[in-house]
Amino acid sequence: MMDSLLLAPLAAGIICHGVYNKLEPRQLLWHVALLVLVPLSMTPLLLPLFSNVIWAALAAWAVYLATLATSITIYRLSPFHPLAKYPGPLLCRISKIYFACVSFGGKQHIYYQQLHLRYGDIVRIGPNELSFCTPDAIAPMMGASGMPKAAFWDGLFPLQKENRSLVGLRNPHDHARYRRIWSRGFTAEGIKSYKPLIERRVDQLVENLTQRAGQTVDLAQWFNWFAYDVMNDLAFGSGTELMQNEDAGGLWHLMESAKPTALLIGHLPWLAEYYIHIPAVAKSFTSFAYFALERVRQRYTEGTARRDLFYHLMDEAGLEETPPSLDQVANDGELAIVAGSDTVSPTLSNLFWLLLCNPIAYARLEDEIDAAKISVGDVAAQAQLPYLNAAINETMRLFPALLSGSTRAPLVGGDGHWIGPHFLPDGTTANVHTYTLQRDKRNFSPLPEKFLPERWLSREQQDLLEPSIFGDRTQVVHNTTAFVPFSYGPADCIGKRLAVQEMRMTVIAIMQRLKFCFADGFDQGSWEAEMCNYFVLTMGRLPVIVTRRV
Ligand code: HEM
């Protein structure tokens, strides 16, 4: 008798699994209905078994939820799951929650790498998620006939239901249409027009560091403030003064504090619906969004004579039939600031950390810059400096600013997608793991884990500078198709040329006038240990003693 009465919540739990599997509902009301109301509605059936209604309700609920959880687990581990043939840790195959928790510790890139070493080139890192680490997956996944963005962005932008910023647009048509507007701000002419603006900020940075000659400064912090001020100028015409005020208003801190939660929610996008209702958690996200909206309003009201990025995003030239709304531009301005500063500043910090750990490379770069005698504004000549470009590339190879790259998914509601011989059904997420890919000895050898700018130089230069490393050509692999720090395809980094220009200008200006050495007592190893990957990076301190060169 007891068994037969329990059959109802048991069967309902299995049906509920079917509903979740088919419809993947995200809205709170659906969850309440499926997880609370349906099981509770079975209370009367169980009343004969219990002394009171509360026990009957709890029993109905427990049986229902236990059945649901068991059914989901069995299915995900079964050979009937479409990703069953791909290896991965048991806990990852059962739920993405495990991977999200690992990521919250900030070391997901190391975990990805370990998983690839253990399980091979394709790993199932979630019930419906695969990580690839070979270059042949890049084009089919992210190229012109590749896949659109994955649900990760739904989690990252829960507040942007309307007017979502470019990076989070999952519909490929919307993305392509809006990318056209953005790309007007990144033509060769557009980037050239930003040069004076960057030059002014580079001067300000070098001036600030020069004033501190003989002292210890946290170079990473200065790069953070610098890159942030640059992007504010670019996005909103004028902007913050983090370098001048040393982030007295705590804006940088505000951005930093949101990162771990953002990554967690990115991995578990269905959580977004809930956490935005928790004021304490949502505060850091909303504050930054309000800040961006305020800046847009101000820039819109005050105008500017300059053709900054805002000019293009706002379509001030009137090229679009329907100009973007202020909310849209605020969201995009916010994106520009985060995308442009949270990438350039860690790359600059990593570059100087690597140079300081490798004095020969530091000296070679300094010699090249001294010999070239170029001004900070001569960007055409800077592009011709082989060692500088090699050092920047090598930094982005070892530490791409998005260590884990970006995710893609088959078109929602479509027929799935093939990555070579691998079929990804609708609802699957996939990525090519940049950190693992770029440190793989099959792509970069010898010494794939070593900072070796020379690997980017000509063969003659390699023979001249590092004959013992490059002498045996059978050991040399340099596969540039496996170098994707800016991602790949129609949704790759739109700011890549601007970023490289900004970094070249900054390195040259600094190295012409200043010299650094690690502050006494600084543990070099702590730098990598403190670097955390929350989709974008958070960095520890980089204390250096500044010396004037001239
Ligand atoms: C070292 C510097 C930088 C690196 C390594 C970098 C890397 C990336 C990567 C990996 C993506 C993801 C693309 C994807 O989803 O596949 C991206 C997107 C993007 N980046 Fe950058 N980025 C850098 C600097 C910049 C700068 C200076 C800007 C200027 C605003 C910028 C603007 C953007 C935008 C708007 C997107 C979204 C593009 C789209 O979805 O179409 N980035 N970046």
> Which CATH number covers residue 536?
1.10.630.10
Instruction: Give Cβ neighbours of residue 304 (< 8 Å, ≥ 6 apart).
Output: 237, 238, 310, 311
Residue type, 329: V
DSSP label of 149: B
Domain tally, the chain: 2
Domain end point (choices 48, 77, 106): 77
Residue 302: pLDDT over 80: no
Q: Distance (Å, rounded) from C-alpha 292 to C-alpha 96? A: 32
Q: What is the pLDDT of residue 329?
A: 85
Average pLDDT over the chain, rounded to an integer? 91
Q: Distance (Å, rounded) from C-alpha 299 to C-alpha 420? A: 47
Residue type, 357: C
Domain end point (choices 77, 99, 126): 77
Q: What is the pLDDT of residue 509?
A: 97
Q: Are 40 and 57 in contact (CB under 8 A)?
A: yes
Residue 198: pLDDT over 90: yes
Q: Distance (Å, rounded) from C-alpha 151 to C-alpha 164? A: 13
Q: Are 347 and 503 in contact (CB under 8 A)?
A: yes
Q: What is the pLDDT of residue 354?
A: 98
Q: What is the mean pLDDT of residues 186-198?
A: 91
Distance 486 CA to ligand 1 centre (A): 6
Domain end point (choices 43, 77, 111): 77
Instruction: Give Cβ neighbours of residue 402 (< 8 Å, ≥ 6 apart).
Output: 343, 434, 485, 487, 535, 536
Say if 116 falls within a structural domain: no
Altogether, the residues listed in the chain come to a count of: 550
What are the tens digits of pLDDT across the range 61-97?
Answer: 999 899 999 999 999 999 999 999 999 999 999 999 9
Q: Distance (Å, rounded) from C-alpha 62 to C-alpha 70? A: 12
Residue 306: pLDDT over 80: no
What are the tens digits of pLDDT across the range 136-182?
Answer: 999 999 999 999 999 998 888 777 778 889 999 999 999 999 999 99
Answer yes or no: do 207 and 67 share one domain.
Answer: no
Residue 191 three-state SS: helix
Number of CB atoms found within 10 A of residue 350's CB: 25
Residue 5: pLDDT over 80: no
Say if 201 falls within a structural domain: yes
Q: What is the pLDDT of residue 122?
A: 98
Say if 125 falls within a structural domain: no
What are the tens digits of pLDDT across the range 474-513?
Answer: 999 999 999 999 999 999 999 999 999 999 999 999 999 9
Answer yes or no: do 195 and 66 share one domain.
Answer: no
Answer yes or no: do 192 and 339 share one domain.
Answer: yes
Q: Are 416 and 410 in contact (CB under 8 A)?
A: yes
**What's the domain range around 232?**
184-443+479-548
- Distances from the Cα of 107 to the Cαs of 346, 422, 437, 438, 445, in angstroms? 16, 28, 16, 17, 24
Hey, which of 184, 309, 343, 536 would you mutate to test ligand 1's pocket, going by the most ligand atoms within 8 Å of its Cβ?
A: 343
Q: What is the mean pLDDT of residues 361-368?
A: 98
* Atom 6 of ligand 1, residue of closest alpha carbon: 486
190-199, 273-282, 328-337, 445-454: lowest mean pLDDT where? Answer: 273-282
Distance 29 CA to ligand 1 centre (A): 35
Q: Distance (Å, rounded) from C-alpha 491 to C-alpha 153? A: 13
Residue 186: pLDDT over 70: yes
Answer yes or no: do 382 and 530 share one domain.
Answer: yes
Beta strands in 31-103 (DSSP E): none
Q: What is the mean pLDDT of residues 364-387?
A: 96
Say if 346 falls within a structural domain: yes
* Atom 23 of ligand 1, residue of closest alpha carbon: 343
Given pLDDT bands bounded at 50, 70 and 90, which one contains residue 405?
Answer: very high
Torsion of CA 181, 182, 183, 188, to 10 degrees: 120
The DSSP element (H or E) to which 464 belongs, if any, is helix 459-465
Residue type, 31: H
112-116, 417-421, 515-519, 522-526: lowest mean pLDDT where? Answer: 522-526
Q: Distance (Å, rounded) from C-alpha 453 to C-alpha 441? A: 16
Residue 3: pLDDT over 70: no
Residue 239: pLDDT over 70: no
Q: What is the pLDDT of residue 206?
A: 98
Q: What is the pLDDT of residue 259?
A: 77
In this predicted model, which residue has the larger pLDDT, 399 or 300? 399
Q: What share of the chain has pLDDT > 70, as a percent?
A: 98
Distance 400 CA to ligand 1 centre (A): 11
Q: Are 355 and 361 in contact (CB under 8 A)?
A: yes
Q: What share of the chain has pLDDT > 90, as a percent?
A: 64
Say if 136 falls within a structural domain: no
Residues touching ligand 1 (Cβ under 6 Å) are 142, 166-167, 179, 335-336, 339-340, 343-344, 347, 396, 400-402, 406, 485-487, 491-495, 498-499
Q: Distance (Å, rounded) from C-alpha 531 to C-alpha 534? A: 10
The DSSP element (H or E) to which 2 belongs, if any, is helix 2-23
CB contact burial 128-151 (16+ within 10 A = b; e otherwise)? bbbbbbbbebbbbbbeeebbbbbb
Half-sphere exposure of 373 (CA within 13 A, CB side): 1
Say if 535 falls within a structural domain: yes
Which ligand 1 atom is at minimum distance from the Cα of 169?
Answer: 40
Residue 284: pLDDT over 80: no
Which ligand 1 atom is at minimum distance from the Cα of 168?
Answer: 40
Hey, which of 402, 493, 496 would you mutate to test ligand 1's pocket, going by the most ligand atoms within 8 Å of its Cβ?
A: 493
DSSP label of 325: P
Distance 144 CA to ligand 1 centre (A): 17
Q: Transcribe 210-251 into DSSP letters.
A: HHTTTSEEEHHHHHHHHHHHHHHHHHHSS---HHHHTSTT-H
Given pLDDT bands bounded at 50, 70 and 90, which one contains residue 127?
Answer: very high
Q: Distance (Å, rounded) from C-alpha 397 to C-alpha 546? A: 27
493: annotated binding-site residue?
yes
Residue 2: pLDDT over 60: no
Q: Distance (Å, rounded) from C-alpha 82 to C-alpha 62? A: 29
Q: What is the mean pLDDT of residues 443-469?
A: 97
Say if 451 falls within a structural domain: no
Distance 468 CA to ligand 1 centre (A): 37
Say if 29 falls within a structural domain: yes
